[in-house]
């Protein structure tokens, strides 16, 4: 079998030049994605159509030859599979009916995996069509981040509605997070059963919480999720991406049990090198350097490689690629990484 370099790095090996992929690499910056998206109907129709989900997952691999492919889906298919309403408004984002404290106790997972069967089918199709050497990543949202959308009904700048909900109804929020952790652990396990090599947990809103709330609502649920996942797959790598965690990154791997750390672009290289001493890291180029191109892109890539290239590193952005990123800048970034020398 051809070597899957991302998988090797996630397991602790140093590979140089490091393997590279991008969060949100299947998306609106690609003309072929926009064309497929227009055929799908709604965004959810695209997520739940195995053939089209497979197609858009493969598009960036065909164009750029990334070392990893990540399932095309959305973190909010988990509450949707629980029976919560969900729609995506063009130019606005996801919209849900906010859940109340009294409704949380009534949630149950009956039919959860049946509702998500198109996702599992998509994973099987993707693995069958990917190049042998390409690592396939499954993913889910972390319980806290998923809960913020369920409680607020939308994305908000600082997730104030969910923070306030938690302070007023801490036991109800704990109950919701526990349920999401257990179901998400099983969800990731089934993605691996279908062909994923490793998985990533996106905690996009972890950076808005104070220290105590971060431990209770980010760290504790992710640790529970990872334990649940490892009941099924004890040796499959898990990437944790607690965006905006700052100094809390220092203990995140130890406390949650994740294998690798996804670093956002604000993590200083001194801290990143400390984190890399205990395992693989992923990141952490500022996505706007990719948009800017030129010297800003080149110096950003060089800085990441100089700081982290001597250890286990998956080169990536510090968050998802933005729709305005020029295709030629993506090509340039990949060329800089793959053409780099020690």
28, 63, 216, 230: the active-site residue: 28
Report which secondary-structure segment, H or E, holds 50: helix 50-64
Is 28 a known active-site residue?
A: yes
4, 29, 33, 37: the active-site residue: 37
Kindly state the DSSP code that residue 313 receives in the 8-state scheme.
E
* SS3 track for 260-287: EEECCCCCCHHHHHHHHCCCCEEEEECH
Both tokens assigned to 128: 């069958």
Within 280-326, residue ranges assigned H as helices are 287-292, 294-308
* SS3 track for 117-133: HHHHHHHHHHHHHCCCC
List C-alpha distances in Å: 210 to 157, 206, 328.
16, 9, 40
Is 24 a known active-site residue?
A: yes
239 bridge partner residues: 200, 260
Q: Which residues of 74-112 are buried (b: 16+ CB within 10 A; e: fewer)?
A: bbbbbbbbbebebebeeeeebebeebeeeebeebeeeee
Is 227 a known active-site residue?
A: no
How many Å apart are CA 226 and CA 182, to the nearest integer? 9
Q: Which of 229, 337, 326, 270 is nearest to 31 (CA)?
A: 326
4, 24, 253, 289: the active-site residue: 24
**In angstroms, how far is CA 274 from the centroid of its own chain?**
22
How many Å apart are CA 296 and CA 285, to the nearest integer? 11
33, 120, 149, 249: the active-site residue: 149
- Residues marked active site are found at 24, 28, 37, 74, 149
């Amino acid at each position: 079998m051809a070597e899957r370099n991302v998988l090797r790095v996630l397991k602790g090996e140093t590979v140089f030049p490091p393997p590279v992929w991008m969060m949100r690499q299947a998306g609106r910056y690609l003309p072929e994605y926009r064309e497929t998206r227009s055929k799908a109907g709604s965004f959810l129709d695209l997520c739940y159509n195995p053939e089209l989900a497979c197609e858009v997952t493969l598009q960036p691999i065909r164009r750029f030859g990334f070392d990893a492919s990540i399932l095309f889906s959305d973190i909010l298919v988990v509450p949707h599979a629980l029976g919560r309403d969900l729609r995506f408004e063009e130019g606005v984002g996801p919209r849900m009916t906010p859940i109340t404290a009294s409704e949380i106790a009534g949630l149950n997972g009956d039919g959860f995996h049946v509702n998500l069967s198109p996702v599992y089918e998509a994973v099987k199709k993707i693995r069958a069509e990917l190049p042998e050497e390409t690592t396939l990543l499954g993913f889910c949202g972390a319980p806290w981040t998923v809960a913020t959308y369920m409680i607020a009904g939308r994305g908000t700048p600082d997730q104030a509605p969910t923070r306030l909900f938690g302070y007023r109804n801490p036991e109800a929020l704990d109950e919701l997070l526990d349920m999401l952790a257990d179901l998400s652990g099983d969800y990731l396990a089934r993605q691996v059963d279908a062909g994923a090599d490793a998985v990533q947990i996106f905690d996009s809103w972890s950076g808005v919480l104070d220290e105590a709330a971060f431990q209770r609502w980010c760290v504790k649920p992710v640790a529970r999720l990872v334990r649940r996942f490892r009941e099924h797959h004890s040796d499959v790598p898990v990437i944790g991406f607690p965006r905006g965690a700052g100094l809390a990154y220092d203990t995140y791997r130890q406390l949650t049990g994740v294998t690798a750390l996804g670093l956002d672009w604000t993590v200083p290289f001194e801290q990143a090198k400390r984190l890399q001493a205990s395992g693989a890291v992923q990141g952490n180029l500022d996505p706007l350097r990719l948009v800017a191109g030129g010297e800003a892109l080149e110096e950003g890539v060089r800085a990441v490689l100089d700081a982290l290239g001597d250890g286990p590193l998956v080169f990536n952005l510090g968050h998802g690629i933005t729709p305005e990123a020029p295709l030629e800048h993506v090509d340039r970034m990949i060329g800089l990484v793959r053409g780099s020398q020690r």
